[in-house]
Amino acid sequence: MSMSSRILSICWLLVVIGLSGGARAAGPDGRWVAEQIRDRDQGRDARFDVRMRILDSRGGVRERRFTLMLKRGAKGEDRGLIRFSQPADIKSTGLLIWKHLNAEAERFLFLPAMGRIRRIAGGEAQENFVGSDFSYEDIGGQDFDAYTYELLEGDGTTTDPSGATYKFYKLQSRARDASAPFPTTISYVDKESFVVRHAERLDRAGQRRKTYDVQKLAKVQGFWTALAATMATDRERTRTELVIDASQYNVGLTEDDFSRRALERGGS
């Protein structure tokens, strides 16, 4: 899975930090911090009921609701399934993602009106996810090695939107694909939880285009989970609020729950 995707997806996604390993004798570097984000304990699997509010520049609000299921696989073979329940025009649409350690993820889309599953390309990872300020990569992730990592600051302290203080690593992730719309991400990684609590995405000119913040971070069943987060697009003055209404870890999900058959079966 990719850094930036971990950085963003995982963070809102929630989760825990059961970090692995200790600090290196020579001190951490960017890749090490990225690996901690990637490898932290998120349970064997998880299920989240997610509510997404998309606010436009004039104050208009649209809402999306979906269920997100995740399963950790051996050697980075993670699985993810997103199923929309609202609004009506995308109800039952499903997106299935199979991640691979050293290869591009496979993605499958089920649109009920189309009546069949389509294999889709992953090249649009940084495009908006269902009209929100989040990208597909934020939600579904990319390849870890699609980015290079640099530790910009190893001992920072700041406050979150609620005013609470936390120590952070300041991490820069650079996409190897020079054509990516947002090739650089600056992330503030909570040293305790290895959750990204604040991030800024920069465009190719180095200008900040998107800002991510975790509003509510808590432990659920012992796993750190970002229960509320926002992604704002500066130039368009839009914002997407993401709230986890229900979360459950170690549900007992199986490979069959992440099969193409399951993707189709859940549609109506």
Partner 1 sequence: MKTQAALAGLLLGLAAQHLHAQGLSGQVSVLGTTFPNRPRTPELRSRVFAKNTTIIGPHVRFDVGGFAEGLLAGGEGADRAGVAEFDEASVQLTMSRLDVLAGFTRAVWGRLDELQPSDVVNPLDFSKFFYESREAARMPVGLVRARLHLTDSTTIELVAVPRFRKARFDRLDEPTSPFNPSTLPLRVAVERPSGSVWEQMQGGARFSTSTGRVDWSVGAYHGFRPLQAYTLSYLASGLPAAPIVSILISGTYPEYTMVSGDFETALSRWTFRGEAVYSDDKAIQARRSPVTASGRTVQAGFGADRSLAGFRVLGELIWHHAEIDTPSLPTDPLTGVAPVFERRSLTAVGIVERQFARQTRLIRGFGIYDGVNKNGIARAIAAISPRQGFWVEGTAVWFSGRRAGLLGSFIDDDFLSVRLIQHF
Q: Does 204 bind partner 1 (CB under 8 A)?
A: no
Q: What are the backbone angles phi and psi of residue 194, rounded to the nearest 5°?
A: 55, 30
Q: Which of 69, 156, 145, 133 has the alpha carbon at shortest distance from 105?
A: 145
Binds partner 1 (CB under 8 A): choice among 19, 65, 101, 120: 120
State in angstroms the smallest separation of the CB of 139 from partner 1.
15
Angle at 188 between CA 187 and CA 192, to 5 degrees: 135
Exposure string of 10-25, with b = 16+ CB inside 10 Å and e = fewer, is bbbbbbbbebeeeeee
Binds partner 1 (CB under 8 A): choice among 39, 49, 104, 234: 104
Q: Does 254 bind partner 1 (CB under 8 A)?
A: no
State in angstroms the smallest separation of the CB of 31 from partner 1.
24
Of 119-127, 166-174, 209-217, 224-232, the segment contacting partner 1 by CB under 8 A is: 119-127
**How many residues touch partner 1 (CB under 8 A)?**
37
State in angstroms the smallest separation of the CB of 177 from partner 1.
10
Binds partner 1 (CB under 8 A): choice among 121, 155, 205, 207: 121
Q: Which of residues 74-93 bind partner 1 (CB under 8 A)?
A: 87-89, 91-92
Residue 162 makes CB contacts below 8 A (sequence gap 6+) with 215, 216
Asked if 208 contacts 202 with a C-beta cutoff of 8 angstroms, the reply is yes
Residue 237 burial (10 A CB sphere; 0-12, 13-18, 19+): exposed
Q: HSE on the CB side for 204, CA within 13 Å?
A: 7
Q: Does 19 bind partner 1 (CB under 8 A)?
A: no
Q: Does 260 bind partner 1 (CB under 8 A)?
A: yes
The neighbouring-strand residues paired with 167 are 157
State in angstroms the smallest separation of the CB of 198 from partner 1.
23
Q: Does 245 bind partner 1 (CB under 8 A)?
A: no
State in angstroms the smallest separation of the CB of 255 from partner 1.
8
Q: Does 205 bind partner 1 (CB under 8 A)?
A: no
Q: HSE on the CB side for 101, CA within 13 Å?
A: 8
Residue 59 makes CB contacts below 8 A (sequence gap 6+) with none
The contact set with partner 1 (CB under 8 A) reads 54, 56, 60, 62-63, 87-89, 91-92, 104, 106-107, 113-116, 118-124, 127-128, 130-132, 238, 255-256, 259-261, 265, 268
